[in-house]
A and B are shown apart, each in its own frame.
Chain A
Amino acid sequence: MKDWSYDTAKDHGVAPVERFRSTKREAGLISTLTHMATMSAMVGFFRTFHRMRVVDRGRFPLKPPFVVCANHSSHFDAIILAAAMPPQARAVAYAVAAGDVFFTTATSSVLSSLLVNALPLWRKKVTTHALEELRERLQEGHTGLILFPEGARSRDGGPLKFKPGIGMIIAGTSVPVVPCHIEGAFESMPPGAKIPRPYKITVRVGEPLTFETAERSRAGWESVSMGIRASIAAMSPKPWPAAAVEDQKVNGG
C-alpha cells in the first residue's frame, strides 16, 4: 500500500486571531457557512435594490483555481463579483482586499474574513513575496481569487492604470483569468459614499484568458495586465481611453 497524501491547511499553526490577518488563511466549515450566508443576503439585495444583471454568467469556472478581475470604483465591487458567481465558485473565492482598510483591527479582520472571505494585501508594502504567496496558493488548486488589477478605487468612475502585479501572480501559469466589467457600482456607491443609491448594476463576464506563455519578467507582467485591460475595456459600454492616458494619473489610496 502506498502512503496517503495529506494536504494540511496552509494556515496550520497560525495563532487563532492572527489567522484572520494572514494571507495563508484557508476558510473552514464555519467561515464558509458564514460568508455564503452573507453573500446570499447580498445577492438578494443586489437583485432587488440594484436590479443586478449578470451577462454570460456561464463563463465563470465552477472549480478552483481561477482569478476574477474587474474595473474598480467602489467598495461594492468585490461583493458584486462574488454575488455574480455561481455558488460553487463563490464558496472557494477569496476577495483580495486592502490590508490598510479592512484588516486594521482584530474585529475588522475577523468580520472581513467571516463575512466576505477577504484576504489581506498590504498596499504600502506590496512585495514580490506577497504576490508570490498568492501565486503559490492558486497553483495548489484550492483557491479562487477576486482581485482588482488597478489596485485602488477610481475616483471618477473611469479606469486607472492597470498595475503589473496581476501579471506577477499568473504569468506562466495555466490558471484561467475571468475578466469582468462592472457597470453601475460607481453610481451606486462611489468612494466616500456612506449609503448606497439604487442605481442599476450590470456585470459583464468575459471569456476566460490564460497566460501560460507569458514571460515572468517586467514586460511579461505588463503584457498580462494589458491583455486583461483590453478584454475589460472591450466590454465597457462607454469607450475607454488609450492605456497610456492612465499612466499620467496617480493611483491614490
Chain B
Amino acid sequence: MNELLDTSGMFESPVARWGAVAAGLALLVAPLLTVVLERLRLLGEKTRKDIWTRYFTWLVLAPVMIAAVLACPASAIAGVLLVSLLCYREFARATGLFRHLLMSVIVAGGIILTAWANLDNWYGLYVALPALVLTVLSAAAVLPDEPKGYLQRVSLAAVAFLLFGTGMNYLGLLANYPGYRPILMLLIACSQLSDIAAYCFGKAMGRRKLFPNTSPNKTLGGHVGAMIVIAPLAAFAGHIIFKDSPIDTPLRLAGLGLIIAAGAQLGDLVIGSIKRDIGIKDMGATLPGHGGFLDRFNSLLLIAPAAFHYINFFGGFDIPITRRHLFQQLLDVIGVGGAA
C-alpha cells in the first residue's frame, strides 16, 4: 500500500526533472511566440484562433498529466485508467456500440479490472484479462437473442478493450517498477512531441502525401521530419534512463527510438482510419481545439504495449521471461540475444 502512494523520488531522474521543466518552459514560451507571430502578421485568423484554443487546453492538460505521472504510482495508474475510460467512451459513441449497454458495462468493467491489476501489481491478471473479457463479451452478446450484428458488437467491444483497456493501461503497469517516472515521461512526451513535429514539418515542407486516404493533411515531409526528431531524442533519453542496464547499447537504444517514433505516427493513423471508416472528423469535443481524448492520445495507443515489451525483453522490468528454448536459440543464432 505504501509503495502505491510513495511520492519520494519525484524529480530524482534527470529525464523526469528536465521533462517537467521543458513542459513548463514550453507553456511559457508558446504564448510569447504566438504573440510575436501575430504582431508580424504571419498567422491567418483561423490559425490564430486555433492556436490559442489549443494552448488553453494544454495549459490545463499538461500540468495535470505531469502531476499524475510524477506524484506516485497510484496517481499514474488512476490517471491512465481515467484516460482509457474516456477514450473508450468516445469510441463507443462514435461507433454506436454505446447503445449495447451490456457490452459497454463489460468493456468498462474490464478496463477497471485492468487498472486494478496494475494497482495490485498482479501481472498474471493483467495478461489473463484480454481472454477473460472476450469470453464474457462473446457469451453476454448471445443473451439478447439478436444474432443480427452479433459479430460487429463483439468485435467492436473486443477491439475497444484491447486498444484502450489492455494496450493503454501498459502505461499504468509501468508504474509498478522503480524508476517508472522518467519512462512514462519519455513515452508521453515523445508521443505528444511527435504530433507537434509532424505538424510543423508538414507545414514547412513537403507536399507529397503518404496516406492520402487515411490522413490527407499529413505530408511525407511531416512523417520523415517527426521520425528524424523523435527517434534520436527517445534513444538519447533512453540512454540516460537505462544507463548501464542491458538495454543501454547503441543498437538496442536505436530500436527503442524507432519503436517510439514509428509507433506515435502509426497510432495517429490508426485513429485516422477509424474516423474515416465511420465518417467523422473528430472522435469527440471534450478538449477544445484538439477534438476528443482519442484525438489527443492516439499516438500513445501503440507505443505503450510495444515499448513496454521491448524494454522488458531486455530485462528492463522484473517480469520473468524464461524457458524460451527455441526462441533463445534462434536469437543466439542471429546474434541478437535477450536478457535471459
Interface residues of chain A, those whose CB is within 8 Å of chain B, are 4, 6-9, 12-16, 26, 28-29, 32, 91, 142
Contact = CB atoms under 8 A, between A and B. Distances in A.
Given A6-B96, A7-B96, A8-B94, A13 B279 contact: no
Contacts of A91: 101
A15 B289 CA distance: 11
B104 A6 contact: no
**4 closest A-B pairs by CB:** A7-B96, A9-B93, A29-B104, A6-B278
A14 B285 CA distance: 6
B93 A16 contact: no
Interface string B261-278: 000000000000000011
A66 B26 CA distance: 54
Contact of B280 (A8, A15, A29): A8
Given A6-B279, A7-B96, A29-B89, 18 more contacts: A6-B94, A6-B95, A6-B278, A8-B94, A8-B96, A8-B280, A9-B93, A9-B96, A12-B280, A12-B284, A13-B281, A13-B282, A13-B285, A14-B285, A26-B98, A28-B89, A29-B101, A29-B108
A15 B285 contact: yes
Interface residues of B, number: 23
Contacts of B281: 13
B324 interface: no
B286 interface: yes
B91 to A, nearest CB: 11
A108 to B, nearest CB: 22
Contacts of A16: 285-286
A9 B101 contact: no
A106 to B, nearest CB: 16
A4 B151 CA distance: 10
28 contacts: A4-B152, A4-B277, A6-B94, A6-B95, A6-B96, A6-B277, A6-B278, A8-B93, A8-B96, A8-B278, A8-B279, A9-B93, A9-B94, A9-B96, A12-B93, A12-B94, A12-B280, A12-B284, A13-B281, A13-B284, A15-B288, A16-B285, A26-B99, A28-B89, A28-B98, A28-B104, A29-B105, A32-B101
B140 to A, nearest CB: 15
A143 to B, nearest CB: 10
B92 interface: yes
A4 B89 CA distance: 20
A151 B144 CA distance: 36
Interface of B: 89, 92-96, 98-99, 101, 104-105, 108, 152, 277-282, 284-286, 288
A29 B92 CA distance: 10
Contacts, number: 54
Contacts of B98: 9, 26, 28-29
Main secondary structure of the interface of B (DSSP, over half): helix
A142 B101 CA distance: 12
A12 B92 CA distance: 11
Contacts of A14: 285
Contacts of B285: 13-16
Nearest to B107: A29
Contacts of A15: 285, 288
A28 B93 contact: yes
A14 B93 CA distance: 12
Contacts of A8: 93-96, 278-280
Contacts of A7: 95-96, 99
A28 B86 CA distance: 12
A68 B93 CA distance: 26
B159 to A, nearest CB: 12
Contacts of A28: 89, 92-93, 98, 104
Contacts of A6: 94-96, 277-279
Contacts of B104: 28-29
Nearest to B286: A16
A8 to B, nearest CB: 5
Nearest to A19: B285
Nearest to B99: A142
A160 to B, nearest CB: 35
A15 B285 CA distance: 5
A14 B279 CA distance: 16
A9 B285 CA distance: 13
Contacts of B92: 28-29
A237 to B, nearest CB: 38
Nearest to B101: A32
Nearest to B95: A6
A85 B62 CA distance: 46
Contacts of B277: 4, 6
Contacts of B279: 6, 8
